[in-house]
Amino acid sequence: MTTEQAFSKLARSPFRSRFHLSEQDKTYVKKVGLPTLRTHAEDFVKTRLAPPMPQNDGKQTPMRGHPVFVAQHACACCCRGCLSKWYNVPKGTPLSPTQQQKIVNLLMAWIEKEISNE
């Protein structure tokens, strides 16, 4: 699934479409920059999603507090259940580096779209 296909599918979900970056989130993105934010996204995906059985799965991603968290919910990349439901990523197996990178790319594309819609 391409990023645009994912965005199109997510746009049909009332729950997913209600997520947007706050002004505080946008200010944070501008302050730290997209390369640093990508590093944060890579770390969150690696530690919170990539393990086969993430700790507190389904509750490991806060709804706010960091732009990447908001993006994870907006893109249905917040837990293994959502990854399975939306992207057919099987539960119980570790995410490959390629899968992790695809998730990070989707999150960053969503964030860039949000900050460009000002």
* Segment 10-27, tens digit of pLDDT: 999 999 999 999 999 999
Per-residue pLDDT at 21: 95
Per-residue pLDDT at 77: 94
Model confidence pTM above 0.75: yes
What's the whole-number average pLDDT of the chain?
Answer: 91
Residue 117 clears pLDDT 90, i.e. is over it: no
- Give the pLDDT band of residue 118 (cuts 50, 70, 90): low
21 within 8 A of 67, measured Cβ to Cβ: yes
Listed residue (107, 99, 93) closest to 39, CA to CA: 107
Number of domains in the chain: 1
* Segment 58-87, tens digit of pLDDT: 777 777 789 999 999 999 999 999 999 999
Residue 56 clears pLDDT 90, i.e. is over it: no
- Give the pLDDT band of residue 57 (cuts 50, 70, 90): confident
Helix (H, G, I), strand (E, B) or coil at 109: helix
Helix (H, G, I), strand (E, B) or coil at 47: helix
Domain range enclosing 77: 3-116
Q: What's the CA gap between 95 and 80, in Å, rounded?
A: 10
